[in-house]
Amino acid sequence: MAFRDLSLGVIGGGAMAEALIAGILHQQLYLPEQIAVSEPQATRRAHWVERYGVRTTDCNQDVTAAVWLLLAIKPQVFLEVAGSLTLPLGARGVVSILAGVSLATLTKTFVDTPVVRAMPNTPALVGAGITALAAGDGVTHVQLNQVEAIFQAVGQVVRVPESSLDAVTGLSGSGPAYVALMVEALMDGGVAAGLPRDLARQLVLATVSGSVQLMVQENLQPAQLKDRVTSPGGTTIAGLAVLEQAAVRGAFIAAVLKATARSRELGQN
Ligand SMILES: NC(=O)c1ccc[n+]([C@@H]2O[C@H](COP(=O)([O-])OP(=O)(O)OC[C@H]3O[C@@H](n4cnc5c(N)ncnc54)[C@H](OP(=O)(O)O)[C@@H]3O)[C@@H](O)[C@H]2O)c1
């Protein structure tokens, strides 16, 4: 039976839904009883109840009478799930975090209902994500502010036109993997230079996180930070010269372009 008085109905109780709801409850944006999660796996439903005290169901239709219906399933099951739903009259809005499902498709599926696409990234799991929002026609400022508040519970939020979402996916969506690859490579460098791996990991993580904090807190451009640590004839310029010879900059640019193109391609399937 459909739940009443819901602020947030969630379809798909997986990793990203959990990150969001943990953040929302931590920030006390909604109370547990205002949230319901529809999830096919009984063990996952039990986890949701024990850990967060939210309402759960295995019937997607049960959560549709919410102020916001959040789609957090894999894109591959979107058609099957959407085809089985009937939104109640006057449904207030649908938010989708599904990569590649366009506003046009959402609007066609949920007729006369405001729809918003959101592209969060994995650091949301520790409250340090960044989410890009693209709103469909007819979404009011008040509604968009509500959606923004949901995603602010797990980090920063930016608003973009839908045409930018593929680039966002290729940059901040895929970005954690690029950073992980860079961290791993630097660790290997430390090991090659004779450091134990654990120590190399600690040094790299603190260096990456500290450099980011420095750029954010002092509003420094990357070039300014680079120039500050690069003394004439010193160690850093020797290292940087090797990176430039290996065209690392060009490789990162090409990686973002390729990931953007792949996101666009997947969205057309
Ligand atoms: N993780 C990220 O960094 C990230 C970033 C941006 C966007 N996204 C998007 O977020 C969405 C979810 O990603 P995720 O990482 O959270 O995936 P996930 O952990 O696999 O979550 C999907 C959940 O949906 C459930 N589910 C499957 N079929 C269902 C159905 N018919 N009805 C209701 N629930 C169903 C799954 O249950 P079972 O396990 O039983 O199949 C699972 O719990 C994806 O569309 C992805 O594109 C994720």
- DSSP letter for each residue of 152-169: HTTEEEEE--GGGHHHHI
Structural domain tally of the chain? Answer: 2
Q: Are residues 31 and 158 in the same domain?
A: yes
pLDDT in the model for residue 2: 81
Nearest CA, atom 17, ligand 1? 14
Question: What CATH number does residue 142 fall under?
Answer: 3.40.50.720
Asked whether residue 269 carries a pLDDT value surpassing 80, the answer given is no
Residue whose Cα lies nearest atom 48 of ligand 1: it is 16
**pLDDT band (50, 70, 90) for residue 35:** very high
What is the rounded distance in angstroms from the CA atom of residue 172 to the CA atom of residue 238? 30
**Is 149 contained in some domain?**
yes
Nearest CA to ligand 1 atom 21: 14
Q: What is the mean pLDDT of the chain?
A: 95
Is the pLDDT at 203 greater than 70? The verdict is yes
CATH code where residue 224 lies: 1.10.3730.10
Please, are residues 114 and 136 in contact by the beta-carbon 8 Å criterion?
yes
User: 201 and 129 in one domain?
Assistant: no
Distance CA 17, CA 97 (A): 9
Query: pLDDT tens digits for 39-68?
Result: 999 999 999 999 999 999 999 999 999 999
Average pLDDT of span 98-118? 94
Instruction: Give me the pLDDT at residue 152, please.
Output: 97
- Across 117-134, b (16+ Cβ under 10 Å) vs e yields bbbbbbbbbeeebbbbbb
Taking the centre of ligand 1 as the mean of its atom positions, its distance from the CA of residue 39, in whole angstroms, is 10
CA of residue 77 to ligand 1 center, whole Å: 9
Q: Tell which of 164, 181, 201 closes a domain.
A: 164
Contact by Cβ (8 Å): 95, 148: no
Q: Phi and psi (nearest 5°) for 99?
A: -60, 135
For ligand 1, atom 43, the nearest C-alpha belongs to 14
Q: Among the three residues 143, 164, 185, which one is the final residue of a domain in this structure?
A: 164
> Could you read off the pLDDT of 145-173 as tens digits, one per residue?
999 999 999 999 999 999 999 999 999 99
In this structure, the answer to whether residues 97 and 119 fall within a common structural domain is yes
- Is residue 27 located within the same domain as residue 154? yes
Residues 123 and 13 in one domain: yes
The Cα-based distances of 171 to 119, 164, 166, 236 in angstroms read: 11, 11, 9, 27
State the average pLDDT over residues 9-34. 95
Confidence of residue 33 (pLDDT cuts 50, 70, 90): very high
Q: What is the pLDDT of residue 5?
A: 86
In this predicted model, what pLDDT tens digit does every residue of 211-259 receive, in sequence order? 999 999 999 999 999 999 999 999 999 999 999 999 999 999 999 999 9
Q: Which of 145, 164, 183 is the endpoint of a domain? A: 164
Q: Read off the pLDDT of each residue in 67-93 and give the average, rounded to a whole number.
A: 90
Give every CB contact of residue 65 below 8 A, 6+ residues apart in sequence: 2, 3, 4, 6, 9, 88, 91
**Cα–Cα distance for residue pair 65/159, rounded to 1 Å:** 26
How confident is the model at residue 32, as a pLDDT?
Answer: 97
Residue found by looking up tokens 């040094």 in the block: 203
Residue 1 domain flag: no
pLDDT of residue 258: 98
* Domain that includes residue 155, residue range: 6-164
Instruction: Identify the helix (H) or strand (E) that includes residue 236.
Output: helix 235-245
Within 6 A (CB) of ligand 1 lie 11-17, 38-41, 44, 60, 72-75, 77, 81, 97-99, 119-122, 173
Amino acid at 89: L
